[in-house]
Amino acid sequence: MGAVNVGLREQFIRDGYVLFKGVLEPELVEGLRVWSDQILGLQEKAHFEQNRTTGSMVLIDWAMAYRYNVLAELVAHPQAVAALAALGFAEPKFGHGRIISKPPQSPPLFWHEDGRFWDDPVSYTWQPIQCFLMYYLTDTDARNGCLRVIPGSHRKRHPLHDQAAPMHTDELRTYANPEDAAFQRAEGEVDVPVRAGDLVIGYGRLFHAAHANLSDERRTVLTMWYYPHFVGLPERTQATIFSLEGRNGETGTNPANEVQARMEPLRIVYEGDAEPIAQRWTPGPALK
């Protein structure tokens, strides 16, 4: 494990996200772009109609990573593991991911936070249970749908906590009501423009959204969900995560495949008998 970058760690805990520039090699970015375009081409028209605001929501699981070496390379990328280590997370575990691709001239993504562990006391501390690692495959700014975040909203209550829908509803996904508060400007928001190959790491419970894609090109992000310090979490939290994600990693690795073998330390394993905690998608009064 490399040395912890104290400044970045403090920024991450304070703001809820941090940007690492130039993490992926251009060749890998191009490979992922070609691969994701192929996968998107296999989706039914209804998939895109049901996900107008995200563009797509194609599941990336362990089986898919084992099937495609370019994806396995991303999951276990040394610079991504090093970025997590710089934030103080030495033994991250991978859960799943999504191909989220906004087509040309598509609407904004609604404000939301992906915390689903609000019945777990850990969610009210600095400790992240779950983090997103976002890789944009094209240079991205406000014109073509860059990320928007509300710094600090992972630890402090924001008006959106009482206004936004607790989950990704059909109405939000299909952009049924553009006047919904989830699509408006929000207090304290900032844009996070990136270059292709950059990495944004953020708390799952951080409020985030994306601008509309007003360009004539597809804008794809691979959002990969990790548990950055699984081994340091309470046993009931580990049991909860394993109950949700453990089966995703049951596919057997080909020991002759070096890329797949690098994924093994990222597998979620829990062998205890603690009772999982029920999922809850909205914070309680403990979030001030």
**Nearest C-alpha neighbor of 148 from the set 189, 182, 180:** 189
**Nearest C-alpha neighbor of 134 from the set 197, 70, 182, 214:** 197
What does the pLDDT profile of the chain (288 residues) look like in tens digits?
468 999 999 999 999 999 999 999 999 999 999 999 999 999 999 999 999 999 999 999 999 998 999 999 999 999 999 999 999 999 999 999 999 999 999 999 999 999 999 999 999 999 999 999 999 999 999 999 999 999 999 999 999 999 887 778 999 999 999 999 999 999 999 999 999 999 999 999 999 999 999 999 999 999 999 999 999 999 999 999 999 998 776 666 666 788 888 899 999 999 999 999 999 999 999 999
Helix segments in 26-101, DSSP class H: 26-41, 45-50, 62-67, 69-75, 78-86
Q: What is the per-residue pLDDT for 166?
A: 75
Cβ atoms of 180 and 171 closer than 8 Å = yes
Q: What is the per-residue pLDDT for 19?
A: 98
Q: 6-266, what's its fold?
A: Jelly Rolls (2.60.120)
Domain ranges of the chain: 6-266
* pTM listed for this prediction: 0.96
Q: Where would I find the beta strands (DSSP E) of 137-187?
A: 147-149
Q: What is the per-residue pLDDT for 198?
A: 98
108, burial (CB in 10 Å: exposed 0-12, middle 13-18, buried 19+): buried
Cβ atoms of 23 and 198 closer than 8 Å = yes
Task: Give the rounded distance of the alpha carbon of 57 from its chain centre.
Answer: 12
Q: What is the per-residue pLDDT for 253?
A: 61
3 state SS of 96? strand
CA distance 27 to 47: 29
